Structures are given as structure tokens and as C-alpha cells.
Amino acid sequence: MADKLVLDGLTVAPNVITTIVSIATTSVEGVASIYAPTLRKAQGGRGIEITTNEQGQLEISVHVQVFFGAKLRELGEAIQNGIADALSVQLGVTPVHIDIFIDSLVFAE
């Protein structure tokens, strides 16, 4: 990942975007955690990948663990909407893609 991203004239450190995405994701009911398997260490081991396409538009991929019993399609849409809203409010940008990967189910204790 680059040291900085330029989004619509705004220069932002990738960790800022990652933090916003992480908080927006984990605040959705039904999300157990961001999923960071050891294979994802190339992206910082956080389960969140932030990139820009050739037009400079933001693209986001998020890997999550969710609680068993959640309606997965609705949960994925809620995560996407939460991320889009948070980035729109805090940075004034809307990602062109927000891909959610449900990698694991967790059973509540």
C-alpha cells in the first residue's frame, strides 16, 4: 500500500482509511471481528485492503468473521452501507467498490 492516497484532492494516510473502515465494520451488529488470517500479512494482517484504481477511485476489500445465525446477505449490505456512509461523512469520498468477504462463522458464548 502507498504511503499516502490522494482522493479528490485530499491526501490521506492509508491507516486513516483503514481505521475508519475497521470501526464502521465492527460497529455493525452481527460482525464478530475483522478477519486477519496469517495469509493476509502482506496487507498488514488486518483483513482490510485499500487500493485505488487507474482513475484514482477508492476500492476496499474487507474480510470478516460473523456470528452464526446472522443473515449473511443483509449483514454484507449493512457493512457496505456503514463503510460508505463513514467515508462519505469523514472524507467526502465514496468508494467505487466495497467488497465484503465473510470468511468465518463464530458461535456466541
Give the model confidence (pLDDT) of 58-80 as tens digits: 899 999 999 999 999 999 999 99
For 29, phi then psi, to 5°, come to: -65, 130
Other residues' Cβ atoms within 10 Å of the Cβ of residue 48 = 24
Which amino acid type is present at position 58?
L
**Residue % of the chain over a pLDDT of 70:** 88
Residue pointed to by grid coordinates 487500493: 51
pTM of the model: 0.86
